[in-house]
Structure 1
Amino acid sequence: MEHSKITNSTSNVLPIWNLNSLYPSMDSPELKKDLEKVAEKSLSFETRYKTKVSQLTGPQLAHSIVEYEKIEEILGRIMSFAQLIYSGDMLDNDTGNFHQSMHEEVTRISSHLLFFNLELNIISDADLKEKLKSPELNHYYPWLRDLRVFQPHQLDDQLEKLFLEKNISGRAAWTRLFDEKIAELSFSIDGIESNLAEALDKLSNKNAKTRKIAAKEISSVLKKHVRLFSLITNTLSKDKAIEDNWRGYEKPISARNRVNQVEDNVVNALVETVSSNYQSLSHRYYALKAEWMGVEHLNYWDRNAPLPGNDDTTIEWSEAKEIVLEAYESFSPTMASIGKEFFDKNWIDAPTRPGKASGAFSHPTVPSSNPFILLNYQGKLRDVMTLAHELGHGVHQVLAARQGCLMADTPLTLAETASVFGEMLTFQSLLERHKGDSRKRKLMIASKVEDMLNTVVRQIAFHEFETSIHDKRRSGELSPEEIGDIWISIQQKSLGPAIKLNDDYRVFWTYIPHFIHSPFYVYAYAFGDCLVNSLYAVFRDEGSDFAEKYIDMLKAGGTMRHQELLIPFKLDASDPTFWKKGLLLIEDLITELADD
């Protein structure tokens, strides 16, 4: 299948999302009415239940949770709309003001609800066990179970309220500063002004000179702002350390593991397994790539360069849609049907534009609405895989919505499973399309290996970088030079001797949003990739029986933990050999390339 350049035909116009399923506009009467209604409901809820939660019977407690869930649904709808509007254009003053105003108003309203979770957590285990005999309350057992995980780290009411309200002028403000600074950065490459997403895309350009110019320009622009990004990183790291200390978390990662409902030893096993296999994974692959490109070492800007023989043609949007939905359909008509809704109902925002958030995400919003996907689509095979990835999230979010506002969210470790599985389905479908073309097959396998290395090795290296930054920050503020030293050291260790890093690369940590938005998020990508590799092996053995069990796993949302969800597939993430099995698929693909 040859890809043609994107045209201006109607079928290839990149979609822009329609957020009307949330609210028609920033000044809509519906939004104003919801704000008034939810403020009134939260005050009424506080008046009726504060200091009385532990005294409620099982059915009464269930009724109070139903009320609480309805309030949270409205608040979630408001903040989802504000966040999506803001993500579409972070440089527009009206949009920025609206997002900040909604954040402040929702925080004010939420302060009246804070008592509820705190009082739920002071109910004794024995008393709660008795109350859970009520079928109505037992429905919410998964939510109560996960809430009580944080019981040892809970503070008194006034301190919790202080942390909630100070977040607006603390972490949230610094995060907004980061987002808006990234959005306003401009890169001049070959006489064209580009935003960050467009500039980073040039690093996979077919032209070596363009890649080098782009890398130098990205470094030059980031260097001008490295002190600001260092200040943001230092401040947020210290902010986290202060809160962790108050809450009694032993390590910087401990809070994230609690949120992810994953044991420390499982995460440690993942990190140790991946890092101990850098040599057989990234080191080996990049040495092969250097050989294919006729050099001894690859410059860092050539790490994601197209391989010799890659035609570098553009995949039009209509074709990307067809590729992904066809792959989903071959696995599960249910997944394809849900996925099709995202295209038909304008739940996707695909084009790059000034001020738009970089990268990609699928926002679940709330169960009474629908998810929305943000992309920066530029027609590369990687963009198609990103579409497959985010659509996997979206399908998962639609299926899990039936669990309701409090139990639909899945821990990050399992949230990445559906997305990475969507990528795997698309990759295997494309391989099947080109099974008679050995050249195309090699290029596709190499591209998939690079994606997997970016998902597994790169993310674990990010995790090691974060861990080092947070650990060292406890002894004092880190200079940009010190942060750059840590970054270069870990990148060299993970990428191997075939990749040549220089001083220009010392600032490439600055633009990565996960370090700012969600500390210690990144290992979830590696968790998801290794888990999917194991799941896909089960799928190949079981065939049609697998799809139904997989859909049931996605429908479970946050009601089950990873141990329970993996039982039908006879997988156990606590098994020390589990992660190595997940890495074997990557090693096998690299071996296939080496033997070609």
Structure 2
Amino acid sequence: MKKTWKLDDILPIGQFGNLYREIENDLEKMRKYVGELKPDISKEKFKEILEFSEEEEEKMARLGGLPGLMEAVNQKDAEAKLLKSKVENLALRWSEVGIKMSLWIKGKRKPKLDDKNAKRIFGVITDLEYGLKRSRLLAKYSLPEHEENIIVNKDVNGMGVLEELREMISAEMEYEIEIDGKKKLIKTQSELLALVYDPRDEVRRVAYQALLLKQKENLPKFFAIYQAVIKDWNYEMKLRGYKSAIAVRNLANDIPDEAVEELLGSCSKNRGIFQEYFIWKAMELGKEKLERSDVYAPIVKKEKKYTIEETKELVLGSLSQFSDKFYKFGKELIEGQQIDWMPKTDKRSGAFCATISPKIKPYIMLNFTGKQRDVSTLAHEAGHGIHSMYAAGHYPSTQNASLPLAETASTLAEMILFEEILLREKDGEIRKAMLSDKMADAYATVCRQNYFILFEKEAHKKVPQGLRAEDLSDLYFKNLKDQFGESVLVSPNFRYEWSYISHIFASPFYCYAYNFGELLSLGLYARYKKDPKIWRGRIERILEVGGSKNPNEMLRSVGIDIRRPGFFQESFDIIAGWQKQLTKI
């Protein structure tokens, strides 16, 4: 079995130049189309322009997707970086034309599109209607054309380069640890972070020490980059007229501010569930109090290892429990050449699923080490891919769901897998260990992500006012103390942990997608368990919609109201139930 992905479905590398020139030539045609935009444009002509624009979006996704995935598995790949640079330059030229069309749709460019004509033409392609109407509703946040062009160039040539620099700094780090008197050099962050799940106290402790020491050594670099990210985000926020830093993300997700605040408040209020778990875990490990390095410690000393084949069998078996279609899509991903499995030097850490276009099966990057959480990671990322495949009937711009709904299938796939493995396991101690790991995972996905957002809200207020790197680290440490309370002993070096959280650099306020998605999926899964016949179909409808409808309205159509006070509490009750089970085993 091949352990690397095959990217030819995106674009054979030898054809990169041909596609590049094709898109370059199409640019002139798009300019002519933009020149034909006027309030009384015929429906047929507007449809023709929209379809051409979508075709070009798909071509650009393929052109950029190839070097993007090449670079993900080798961050020093010079050819990937060259091709990526070419794509960025071409994208900038296209954006100049795209901005003209976008502003015209919003009624911000002459000849001005009035509301009556907008209503007349926006329905020519039903799949794109929601996006067109939404674009017009958000017109007040748009800037004049020349300013929009400046911002696009700034994002690519300024902030984009800073993010690449941060990734390069992280990828070049090597970690020297000493265990049982033996020194070992670890060359990737992924390999190091795998050790925080080791059953041995010493191994977990030295792994965290090595990680945080490197972060501290490079703190001035990370702080300089993060300062720039925050100042850039907040400057543009004010320039466009958003009311807060997080509102920028909320509007992008089309999630009401009050729903996000309800989420954050509910997660903070329920942190006691996880604090109870940490107190229980300390007793299981024979400790007076849990240390921060113990949070992900297994409660059994011997951890089961899985081969890739065993992992595939487990995940596919669990996916088949939900529906034939869910299983079919999962099998196409897992048994095809869509996955890059193994960790290696200069490979990006973590895992992700990349959707290129509706015509191409998604790709999954893993750093597989054979542990049970690697099995869960495959289920999670396969869930993302399955979601994209459910929504493959849409145009490229409407295939992907907004961020909070984008976690629905991934979390669902993890839940099904967990119950499948738990059902198979007959040993009571191992079942207890699995349930403990599930609580630790729920902490990581719900509580931890929530506190990242709370930290970001504070950082985005304080950094523009003037702050030192150590001051920001103090803010983060205070955040940790509030999160854990008296249940966990947090050593001072964890104050530097913020500097390796990639999302706060690359996508500010992204992280609430995880706790939103986890809690929403838990609620959906609980309903599915009570009435599989009805809720299987409703969940599949959510997945099929992609990004073609308002997420709040889509959920309401299946009986879910995310604005309702207490909605998220139902999911926390499920998590609290797991903790009660643990205390009874």
TM-based fold match above 0.5: yes
Q: Which residue of 1 aligns with 2:278?
A: 286
User: Does the alignment pair 1:577 with 2:566?
Assistant: yes
Quick check: 1:51–1:119 contact (8 Å CA) kept in 2? no
For 1:212-250, what per-residue CA distance to the aligned partner results, in whole angstroms no more than 9, with x for missing partners? 121111121111101100000001110111111111111
For 1:468-509, what per-residue CA distance to the aligned partner results, in whole angstroms no more than 9, with x for missing partners? 111112212x21101111111111111231211122111111
Supply the AA of the counterpart residue of 2:583: A
2:524 corresponds to which of 518, 522, 535? 535
Distance in 2 separating the partners of 1:162 and 1:144: 23
Q: Which residue of 2 aligns with 1:548?
A: 537
Q: Residues 212 and 40 (structure 1 numbering): CA distance in 2 closer, same or farther, change over 3 Å?
A: same
Q: Which residue of 1 aligns with 2:355?
A: 364
1:333 corresponds to which of 298, 309, 324? 324
Q: Which residue of 1 aligns with 2:504?
A: 515
Q: Residues 55 and 310 (structure 1 numbering): CA distance in 2 closer, same or farther, change over 3 Å?
A: farther
Q: Which residue of 2 aligns with 1:461?
A: 451
User: Does the alignment pair 1:111 with 2:101?
Assistant: no
Distance in 1 separating the partners of 2:79 and 2:251: 37
Distance in 2 separating the partners of 1:556 and 1:519: 26
1:170 is paired with a residue whose SS is helix
User: Does the alignment pair 1:144 with 2:132?
Assistant: yes
Deviation at 1:211, TM superposition (A): 1.2
User: Does the alignment pair 1:437 with 2:427?
Assistant: yes
Quick check: 1:59–1:137 contact (8 Å CA) kept in 2? no
Quick check: 1:349–1:375 contact (8 Å CA) kept in 2? yes
Aligned-residue RMSD, C-alpha: 1.6
Q: Which residue of 2 aligns with 1:504?
A: 493
1:179 corresponds to which of 164, 167, 171? 167
Distance in 1 separating the partners of 2:298 and 2:427: 18
Quick check: 1:50–1:116 contact (8 Å CA) kept in 2? no
Distance in 2 separating the partners of 1:57 and 1:338: 39
Distance in 2 separating the partners of 1:589 and 1:488: 28
Distance in 2 separating the partners of 1:538 and 1:568: 15
Deviation at 1:53, TM superposition (A): 4.0
For 1:164-202, what per-residue CA distance to the aligned partner results, in whole angstroms no more than 9, with x for missing partners? 122222110111111111111111234132311111111
Report matched runs for 1:126-145 at 5 Å. 126-132=116-122, 136-145=124-133
For 1:122-179, what per-residue CA distance to the aligned partner results, in whole angstroms no more than 9, with x for missing partners? 03333212334x6x34442122123224311001111111111222221101111111
1:215 is paired with a residue whose SS is helix
Quick check: 2:40–2:117 contact (8 Å CA) kept in 1? no
Distance in 1 separating the partners of 2:319 and 2:211: 36
Supply the AA of the counterpart residue of 1:467: K
Which is worse superposed, 577-586 or 501-510? 501-510
Which is worse superposed, 154-163 or 92-101? 92-101
- Percent of paired sites with the same residue: 27
Q: Which residue of 2 aligns with 1:20?
A: 8
Deviation at 1:56, TM superposition (A): 1.4
2:401 is paired with a residue whose SS is coil
Deviation at 1:51, TM superposition (A): 6.9
User: Does the alignment pair 1:246 with 2:239?
Assistant: yes
Distance in 2 separating the partners of 1:541 and 1:53: 53
For 1:284-326, what per-residue CA distance to the aligned partner results, in whole angstroms no more than 9, with x for missing partners? 111111111111222211111111x342131111111111110
Q: Residues 139 and 225 (structure 1 numbering): CA distance in 2 closer, same or farther, change over 3 Å?
A: closer
Q: Residues 454 and 378 (structure 1 numbering): CA distance in 2 closer, same or farther, change over 3 Å?
A: same
Using structure 2 for the length normalisation, give the TM-score: 0.95
Quick check: 1:282–1:496 contact (8 Å CA) kept in 2? no
For 1:369-389, what per-residue CA distance to the aligned partner results, in whole angstroms no more than 9, with x for missing partners? 221011111111111111111
- Figure out how many residues of one structure are paired with residues of the other and give that number: 575
Supply the AA of the counterpart residue of 2:372: L
2:353 is paired with a residue whose SS is strand
Report matched runs for 1:420-499 at 5 Å. 420-434=411-425, 436-476=426-466, 478-499=467-488
Supply the AA of the counterpart residue of 2:306: I
Unaligned segments of structure 1, at least 5 residues? 1-9
For 1:411-458, what per-residue CA distance to the aligned partner results, in whole angstroms no more than 9, with x for missing partners? 001001111111111011111112x33212111111111111110000
Q: Which residue of 2 aligns with 1:75?
A: 60
Supply the AA of the counterpart residue of 2:259: V
Q: Which residue of 2 aligns with 1:87?
A: 72
Quick check: 2:524–2:539 contact (8 Å CA) kept in 1? no
Distance in 2 separating the partners of 1:355 and 1:56: 52
Q: Which residue of 2 aligns with 1:192?
A: 185
Q: Which residue of 1 aligns with 2:269?
A: 276
Quick check: 2:306–2:372 contact (8 Å CA) kept in 1? yes
Q: Which residue of 2 aligns with 1:381?
A: 372
Unaligned segments of structure 2, at least 5 residues? 108-112, 179-183
Q: Which residue of 2 aligns with 1:4?
A: none
Q: Residues 96 and 137 (structure 1 numbering): CA distance in 2 closer, same or farther, change over 3 Å?
A: closer
Which is worse superposed, 403-412 or 187-196? 187-196
Supply the AA of the counterpart residue of 1:311: K
Quick check: 2:439–2:579 contact (8 Å CA) kept in 1? yes
Distance in 2 separating the partners of 1:529 and 1:373: 20
Using structure 1 for the length normalisation, give the TM-score: 0.94
Distance in 2 separating the partners of 1:567 and 1:310: 46
Quick check: 1:328–1:422 contact (8 Å CA) kept in 2? yes
Q: Which residue of 2 aligns with 1:3?
A: none
Quick check: 2:319–2:417 contact (8 Å CA) kept in 1? yes
Deviation at 1:568, TM superposition (A): 5.2
